[in-house]
Amino acid sequence: MDFSSFVTSLGTSLIIFVVLMLAFTWLNRKPGNAVIYYPNRILRGLDPLEGRTVTRNPLAWIKEAVKASEADVIAVAGVDAAVYLVFLSSVLAILVFSGIILLPVLLPVAATDNGTQSTTDSNSQGTFKNLDKLTMGHIQESSSRLWAFLLGVYWVSFVTYYVLWKSYTHVSDLRAGAKTSAVVKPEEFAVLVRDIPAAPPGQSMKDHVDSYFRALHPETFYKSMVVTDNKKANKIWEEIEGYRKKLARAEVVYAESKTTGKPEGTRPTNKTGFLGLVGPKVDTIDHCNEKIQELLPKLEAEQNITLKEKQQGAALVFFCSKPAAVSASQTIHAQKIDTWTMMEAPEPRQVLWTNLSKKFYEREIRSLIVYGIVFLTVCFYMIPIAFVSAFTTMENLKKYLPFLKKIVDQPEIKTVLEAYLPQIALLVFMALLPTLLMFLSKEEGIPSESHAVRAASGKYFYFIVFNVFLGVTIGGTLYASLKEIIKKPSQIITLLGSSLPKSATFFLTYVALKFFVGYGLELSRLVPLIIFHLKKKFLCKTEAEVKEAWAPSDFGYATRFPNDMLIVTIVLCYSVIAPIIIPFGVVYFGLGWLVARNQALKVYVPRYESNGRMWPHIHTRIVAALIVYQITMLGYIGILRKFYYATFMIPVIAISFIFAYVCKQRFYLAFFHTPLEVACQGTKEIPNMESIYAAYIPPCLSTEKLQDVDQFEDAHSHSLRTTSL
């Protein structure tokens, strides 16, 4: 890629961004689009237009994003969103502090060196001079100017330690603050108990659990809810819900048909067979009503059976006070510690019910299998990416697809293609993966949605770093080099060091594409907007259906964090080799912070709240990226630039490990468990335990009739109304 194609790429990205911003400013103001641009505010019952008509400024959203306080963000979007913003601002701070020193120092040091032109260190074959002059590749071998770059690594490292320490402390406080809030959260009074051994003969699981906890926590135990196998009940319940939706839709259709010519209207009909295409024709309204009437007693019967006979070896145990629940969740209960395993209960909305009853060793085996599959996926995905990145150079395209020659040889198309082809190939590959990883993570037997998201996010991170970063950097040579690496593992440092500079411009373009086009699309929400309008026009009949069409998603941390982490890794690794990447990183995270604030305040609705539980993982990964960076620099400066003082880099690598260890010791467990100090600080008054208990009843088991099932074998609680505190 030569310099002009780099500028073209930046230019087109910028134009797309400006267009999207203008589209956003224009679309944003139409009241019909409010549900797309302000769904969060609408769902909270606020006026989406409030304070909007006065400004026609396309940058008004920036002012609003900056003005909001962190407390506002937490109130609207939860601690998780606030932690995501802390992540963005931390990285921003690291890059700004690094850039303040590195840019004015390293660029002149590199530019004024009149050393031999080492053209091999760049893929530009001498045509990319202007940028090349500003990189470390321009410095003579063994030059004492390399000291500046070595000290640059130290500066970046210490800035990172400082910022990360501050951020970890801040996030830790945020988490403690959220846990001490006066709002009663059901999960704070509940403990999830798994691996319950079989009940003694003649006793139901429910009684078994009750008697166990009543004996161990005589004063604080409230009651228990044994997890049941709801599969069948759930199926019936979903069937009923399906018919209800159909009924509502048919009634609207019928009502609409009335207003036109015929006052009696036409009753909608459908066929009962496969996909409504075959089978006898029936009146939809009557048919749905019949079906619902038919299924309701069935559901009730199934509910009874489920509660009585399908009790599983897991339970939610409720305690009368937060400290009691916290203590219980951290205390080993049984002498055989693979039974009665305790943990803090997840929020009701994010419990993965079917995973709860999976046994201890089953979970371990599932995890092992999933790791195996992920490992294979990482290796398997590497092949097409390496192939694409080797194939999509202009020369190869012309060589293998000669019929493209004419198109490709036109200078404009050539430039654009050259600039974007590899990146687009990459993005397409990436889009296919998250669903698979999320599915795999849930299969591990994880009890909550947020935990599954964390697990998927970790997998995605490893995937993306190995495949995109290493894949692109080492590229086609990786498989050839693999033999070499296995023979001599230290080879990887040399290989990475020598391959990095070659890919500098690729990653510069990648980062620019990501922030201009990525954030442009994110902010303008063009895709959800178009889908919503299409759905509203052609599909939706009832109010509920319209609402479903615009219902906003959440942040999607499973892919958002790893994608940002990839940029962190890239920018860190190039920060000293080609400091010119730092401003790109600053723009990425600065713009990212603004956009994310806007989306948090106005658009996304969190599906769960994990109180920043993601942070320790993010922290560890940033430190890991830092260590990769330091090791790469050791290899690059020491072996390729033949600067033997590079051994001075080894202490800073050791410091990184110590930093990671100290942070883990100081902060991690407080993210894993709730400290007693925090649990005791909250409100002291006893909340309505009944409503806390009811929050965990799955919808397919909750009917008004259920409360009459005041029987002995009931998996939920027979003391539903008898016991009261």
The region, left, alpha or beta by phi > 0 then psi within -120 to 50, assigned to residue 276 is left
Quote the Cα angle for 705-707-708, to 5°: 75
Q: Are 419 and 4 in contact (CB under 8 A)?
A: no
Considering the complex, state which of residue 259 and residue 665 has its C-beta at the smaller distance from its own copies: 665
CB of 357 to its own copies, least distance (A): 18
Closest CA to 40 of 610, 559, 592, 554: 554
C-alpha–C-alpha distance, residues 145 and 143, integer Å: 5
Closest CB 198 distance from its own copies, rounded Å = 16
The 3-state DSSP composition of the chain as helix, strand, coil percent (nearest 5) reads 70, 5, 25
- The alpha carbon torsion through 136, 142, 144, 149 (nearest 10 deg) reads 30
CB-based contacts of 352, cutoff 8 Å, min separation 6: 442, 446, 447, 448, 449, 452
- Of the candidates 34, 96, 209, 326, which one interacts with its own copies according to CB under 8 A? 326
Q: Which is nearer to its own copies, 166 or 666 (CB)?
A: 666
Stretch that binds its own copies, among 329-337, 465-473, 532-540, 560-568 (CB under 8 A): 329-337
Sheet order of strands, 341-344 included: 221-228, 311-319, 190-194, 341-344
> Contact between 271 and its own copies (CB under 8 A)?
no
Q: How far apart are CA 178 and CA 610, in angstroms?
A: 10
> Tokens 């059901």 sit at which residue?
186
Residue 550's Cβ-side half-sphere holds a number of Cα atoms within 13 Å equal to 21
Rounded distance between C-alpha atoms, residue 622 and residue 628, angstroms: 10
Residue 612, Ramachandran bin (φ over 0: left; ψ between -120 and 50: alpha; else beta)? left
Two structure tokens written together for 26? 């224009």
Using CB under 8 A as the binding rule, whether residue 549 contacts its own copies is answered as no
CA 332 to chain centre: 32
Q: Is 7 in the site for its own copies (CB under 8 A)?
A: no
155 sits near its own copies (criterion: CB under 8 A): no
Strand 311-319 and strand 190-194: the pairing is: antiparallel
In angstroms, what is the minimal distance from the CB of 365 to its own copies? Answer: 10
Which residue among 262, 336, 483, 537 contacts its own copies (CB under 8 A)? 336
Q: Tokens 């979007």: give the residue.
A: 77
Question: Interface with its own copies by CB under 8 A: which range of 202-210, 412-420, 606-614, 672-680?
Answer: 672-680
- Pick the closer one to its own copies by CB: 58 or 177: 177
Report the candidate in 566, 546, 564 with the shortest Cα–Cα distance to residue 555: 564
The residue among 118 and 220 lying less far from its own copies, judged by its C-beta, is: 220
Residue 166 is a binding residue for its own copies (CB under 8 A)? no
Number of residues that bind its own copies (CB under 8 A): 36
The binder of its own copies chosen from 44, 271, 666, 721 (CB under 8 A) = 666
| Token pair 């030569």: residue | 2
Shortest distance in whole angstroms from residue 611 CB to its own copies: 12
Q: How far is the CB of 661 from its own copies (least distance, A)?
A: 8
In eight-state DSSP terms, residue 358 is -
| Nearest-approach distance from CB 165 to its own copies, in angstroms | 12
Shortest CB 182 distance to its own copies, Å: 18
Least separation, in Å, of the C-beta of 657 and its own copies?
12
Which residue's CB is nearer to its own copies, number 594 or number 663? Answer: 663
Q: Report 585-644 residues binding its own copies (CB under 8 A).
A: none
The residue range among 334-342, 530-538, 556-564, 587-595 that interacts with its own copies, by the rule CB under 8 A, is 334-342
- Work out which of 665, 685, 704, 712 binds its own copies, going by CB under 8 A: 665
Output 412 or 685, the one with its CB closest to its own copies: 685
How far apart are CB 284 and its own copies at their closest, in Å? 55
176 binds its own copies (CB under 8 A): yes
For residues 119 and 330, which CB has a smaller minimum distance to its own copies in the complex?
330
In sequence order, which residues have a C-beta less than 8 Å from that of residue 479 and are 6 or more positions away? 386
Report in angstroms how near the CB of residue 132 gets to its own copies at its nearest. 40
Q: How many CA atoms lie within 13 A of 245 on its CB side?
A: 12
3-state secondary structure 150-207: HHHHHHHHHHHHHHHHHHHHHHHHHHHHHHCCCCCCHHHHEEEEECCCCCCCCCCHHH
Q: Which residues contact 499 (CB under 8 A, 6 or more apart)?
A: 473, 474, 475, 477
- Provide the minimum distance between the beta carbon of 370 and its own copies in the complex, in angstroms, as a whole number: 17
Name the CA dihedral angle for 337, 338, 340, 344, rounded to a multiple of 10 degrees: 90
Cβ closest to its own copies, residue 330 vs residue 702 = 330
Closest contact distance (angstroms) between CB of 340 and its own copies is: 8
Contact between 668 and its own copies by CB under 8 A: the answer reads: yes
Binding its own copies (rule: CB under 8 A), the pick from 603, 678, 689, 715 is 678
Residue type, 536: K
What's the token pair of residue 689?
A: 């335990």
Of 287-295, 324-332, 406-414, 455-463, the window that binds its own copies (rule: CB under 8 A) is: 324-332
Shortest distance (Å) from residue 47 CB to its own copies? 39
Output 320 or 397, the one with its CB closest to its own copies: 320
Task: Please give the Cα distance from 660 to 649 (Å, whole number).
Answer: 17
Query: By CB under 8 A, what part of segment 356-375 binds its own copies?
Result: 360-361, 364
Residues 204-223 close enough to bind its own copies by CB under 8 A = 215-216
> Which of 49, 431, 534, 669 touches its own copies by CB under 8 A?
669
330 is a contact residue toward its own copies (CB under 8 A) = yes
The H or E element containing residue 72 is: helix 70-111
Q: Which residue among 44, 662, 710, 723 contacts its own copies (CB under 8 A)?
A: 662
Say which amino acid occupies 340: W
Residue 259 touches its own copies, criterion: CB under 8 A: no
Least Å distance between CB 215 and its own copies? 6
Q: Give the Cα separation of 133 and 131 in Å (integer).
A: 5
- Apex 239 CA angle, 439 and 311, nearest 5: 65
Provide, rounded to whole angstroms, the least separation between the CB of residue 169 and its own copies.
Answer: 9
Q: Is 338 in the site for its own copies (CB under 8 A)?
A: yes
Residues that bind its own copies (CB under 8 A): 172-173, 176, 215-216, 323, 326-328, 330-338, 340, 360-361, 364, 662, 665-670, 673-678, 680
